[in-house]
Structure 1
Amino acid sequence: MYLDMLASGFWSRTMQGIRKLVEVEAISGPRGVCSIGGLIHDARCAREKLTRKVFVVSISGSEYNYETVRARYWDFVGTQQPGTAFWVPSDLRYHISEQRHIEFDWLSGTSPGNSSPDDIIRVEVFDALTERLARLNDIVEHVNVEIAHAATEASRQGRVLDQWGLDDAKAAIKELAQVAELTGRWFCFEGIGTVLPTPQFDQFQHLNQPLFNGDNSDLHSIWRELDSEIAQWHDVEAQSLLRL
């Protein structure tokens, strides 16, 4: 019974967490939410104001013209002692501005030859992000009916998940992680980083007292495999994920 309670609580909290991150409302206001869906919603609403210049200058804190910064960078390099290491000041790191322009070329459907500070993001980008999150709607509906609301047995028919296991949970969290990586990188100038925590101790040391009876080395092996896989989730290209 105790293990059933742990398992039930784990699945309920996992599903509720997914529901919260997917929820689509404005971030501010009486129904404000702090979610990935909310961030995408607000960015879409601000699309006309989210220009290339805002994307490069205001969000990332870079100078708009990276060629000017590149020239200052090489002037700075020329003043350094040959063969020695040196620290490059942050205002001379032209590659950040250059990368932001490259990203916005794709987001706006333009190219370096016809770009403008007033370019805006294609609406198809927001549609694609929303469609990715919509893949998790079955989980949202399950939480609404089975966990969050007092639905009757009759009203739950056809609206709850028949089964949901570890592979389903991992796939759902991967979906969230990859969408969050892109939206965070674009609109907050910061990705999600590491998804699975890095333990500073033996995370399975006392698991056999009283919940587990077996060889902990198998658990360590599973953890390392999972860690190796999840570490790659944030390394995602927009073109392959959104297929635009």
Structure 2
Amino acid sequence: MRNVLLVSNGVRGTGSLGTALMQLHLSSWPEVEAYLTRSKAILIPIGSTEQHGPTGLLGTDALCAEFLAKRAGDEAGFLVGPTFNVGMAQHHMGFPGTLTLRPSTMIACMTDWANSLRRHGFERIYWLNGHGGNTGTISAAITALYHDTTFGDAAALRCMSRNWWELAGISDMIRELFPVGEGSHATPSEISITRYAYPEAIKRADLMPRIAPTGPVFDAKDFKRRFPDGRIGSDPTLANSGDGERLVNAVVRALIAEFGTFAKA
């Protein structure tokens, strides 16, 4: 019988195999029940499945959030939920492989996930976001959850959402690593993280121009016309696993600190 001890922030949980198992979907219900006696907080990675130019993985936004969350959860001993890996990506639908949700569908799914966790006794949910296009809908979902608390019989719940690149010190680090060519989509920072996390999935292509054009984003047809290879203002040829490792280590430190404060609020 596997013996896994789950403990709250700052103390690692280890099993008989010597590995930290701080993921909800790799836990049994008695292990989650034990965790809830020590902490009422959980982190959920949230991202998107969408094109990231000729060299970026379709899962980049979800994979970055998931990898960072798992690393932080294992190091600090907090529970990480399954990754919410399809989000708001209608403007990328001109590129094969992209998946998207309606805003109403995403809000409904997020509130159902959160209410399921609340039913089991969780009181703090931290959403680690990897896709900027999700931010408005995430905020709307959190507002809907607070509405249920105010006007219904639901137990109190506190939520927080953070884009991983907006954690303390990370934007400055990205500017230092990529002073030119970071852009806003298919960026060398996010692709560096996936190259570090998934070296077996590195893609290469000749990009022309090296730095993609910039501009507004509307619907899928307009996006494909303005940005025919899927990039916005970026030069992902700058991406490398070494900078990915540096970013991962910095993000994990900042995430552990912020989650710890949120969990105790």
| TM-score range for the pair, normalised by the shorter chain length | under 0.3
TM-score, structure 2 as length reference: 0.24
The structure richer in helix per residue is 1
Q: Which has the higher strand share?
A: 2
Greater C-alpha radius of gyration: 1
Query: What TM-score do the two structures reach when normalised by structure 1?
Result: 0.26
